[in-house]
Structure 1
Amino acid sequence: MVHELALALALIQLALFALCWGLIALLMPQERRPALLFLALCASDALTAWLHVGQEGALGPVAPWIMTLGLASATLVCCGADAFVHRRLRQARFWFGVCAVGVAAMWLPLPAGADQVVRLAVYQGAFLLLLVGPLIWLRAGILAEFGRYGWLPLLPFALMSLPVAAFLVQITLQPEVVPARFEVDPVRGARSLIPFAIVSGIFHITWLGMMLGRQVVAARQAARIDTLTGTLRRGAFEAELEHGIAAAARLGHPLTLAFVDVDHFKRINDLGGHAAGDQVLRRLGAVIGATLRNTDRCGRWGGEEFVLLLPG
C-alpha cells in the first residue's frame, strides 16, 4: 500500500508538470524546444519511478533499465536547459556523448577482470558530468539574463550532484557496498521517491518560473519599445521626459528636447512602397541609438517623427 501511494503521488506530480510543459509548448512557440524536452523528461521520470517502486525494492532485475532511464532523464534536463538559455542546443555533442558512455557501461560486456563496481563507477561518473555540466556552461548565460535569480534553476543540479559525487567516492573507496544497493528492501522504493519528488518539484517549478519570467520581461519590453525602430514608444518616452524635467529642475542642469523627422518620407513610400519606408525608419532608429549617450533617450513620436531627450 505504501509503494502504491508513493508511486501514485509521484505520477500525479509528474502529470501536472507534463501538462504545464505541454501548454507552454502549445502557447509559447519560442520556448517550444525546451518545453518539449522537459515534457519528455516527465515521461522518462514516470517510467523510472514505476520501475523503481514496482520491484518492491529488488532493483537487481531492472537496474540497467533504471540507470539507462536515469541517464536519459539527465540528458533531457541538460538539453532542455541548454535550449532555453542559448535558444539552441550548443553542447548537444557533450550531453549525448556522456550519456552514450554511461549507457554503454550498463549494457556492453565488461573487459576481463572488471566487475560490477567498474560498471557502476562509470555510470555514476557520467551522471555526475551531466549534473555538473550545466553549472559550468549555462551559468554565465542564465545569470546574464536573470541576475541573481538565475541561481534558482541551477540549484537542482547542485543538489543532485552532491549525493551522486558522495556515492561515487564511496564505491571507489568501499566497493563492497555495491551489492547492498541491489538487495531486496520492501520500503526502499517508496522512500527513494521522497528526495526524487522534492528535487523534481524544485526543478520543474524553477524552470517554469524562468520561462514565465522571460515572457513577462518580453511583454514589458514590448510595451516600452517600438518594434520597428527600436526606440521608445510615445508613452514610455513621455514618462522619461517627466523624470528628466524633474531631475533637471532639481539639480539645475540644462535639458534639451529635439524633434527629428524624415524629409520627403511620403515620397519614399510612394516610390519604394511601405517596405522601403520601414527600412528607412529602422535604419534611422539604429543610427540614432548608436549615436546617443547612455543618459540620452530617443522616442518615436509618430510616423516618421522622432524626439530626443538630452540631459546636460
Structure 2
Amino acid sequence: MSNMTRQKSAGQTTPATPLSTRPALRGSGERTKAVAASTILWIMAVAFGFPVLWFVLSSFKPAGDLFSYPLTLFPESWDVTGYSQAWESYDFYKFFLNTTIVAVITTILTVVASACTGYALAKYKNPWLKVFFVCILATTMLPTEVILSPTFLVIRDLGLYDSLAGLIVPSIITATGILMFRQFFVTVPDSLVEAARIDGASELGIFARIMIPIAKPIIVTLAIFSFQWRWNDYIWPLIVINDPGKFTLQIAIQSIVGADNVNWSVLLSASVISILPLVLLFIVFQKYVMNADINAGLKE
C-alpha cells in the first residue's frame, strides 16, 4: 500500500512556471516604471517650459498683439523692434557690459578664495581653523536681509558706494563655495599631500599642481553658480548703485517699468536678452555639472 502511494505521489507532479518567463515579467515591470517616470518628467517639463516658450515668442510680437483676443502662441508677424529699442534706445549694451564685468570678476575671485579656504579647512589641523569653520557655518543660518545693513555701512565707509567694486567685494566670500571645496578636499587622502611634501613640493605647489587639477568639477560647478548668482542679483545692486550709467541688467529692466505705462515689447525683449548668457553657459558646461560628484575625491 505504501509502495502504491509512493508511486502515485511520484507520478503526480505539479507543473512549474518556466524560469524563462520570470526575467521577462521582471523586465516588463521595470519597463512600466520607467515609462511612468518618463511620462511624469515630460509633463513637468511641459508645465515649466510652456510659460518660458510663451514668454520668448511674445517678445517677437508687436506691442498691439500682446493683449489681442484670442491669444496666440506664435506671432502673426515677427517683429524685433523691441530688441533694437532695448539695445539702443535704453543703452542696454552698457548695462550688459556692467553686469558682465561684475559677474566675471566676482566669479573668478570667488573660485580662488573658496578653493584656498576650503583646502586650508580640510588639510590643516589648527584649532582656530575649526572655530573659523563654525563661524562660516553660522553665516548660512542668517537670512541675506539681516546682513544687508551692516554690509552697506562697511561698503560706504570704504568709499565703494555707487561703484562696481561695491558690488564685487562683498560677494567674493560665499559659505556655499567654501563648503563645496572643503567637502571635496577632505576626501583626498592625506598620504598624497605628505608624499608631495617629502618630494620637496611647497605648500603652494601642492595646492596649485595637485589639488586644483583634481578639483576641476567643483571649480566649474561653483563658477556656474557664482556667475548665475551675480548675473541675477537685484537687491544688492539696487542698494549700492545710484548712477544710472552703472546699473546692472536687473536694475535696468526694472527701470523700464514706468509709473503710468509699461512698454511690454521692450520689457519682454530686454528680459530675453538678460537670460541668454545663462542659457548659453548651461549648454556649454552642462556635461561638467551633470557628471560632477562634489563629494568624491581620491579614495584611499
Q: TM-score, normalised by structure 1?
A: 0.26
Higher relative contact order (CA 8 A, sep 6+): 2
Greater C-alpha Rg: 2
**Structure with more of its chain in strand, by fraction:** 1
What TM-score, normalized by structure 2, do the two folds share?
0.27
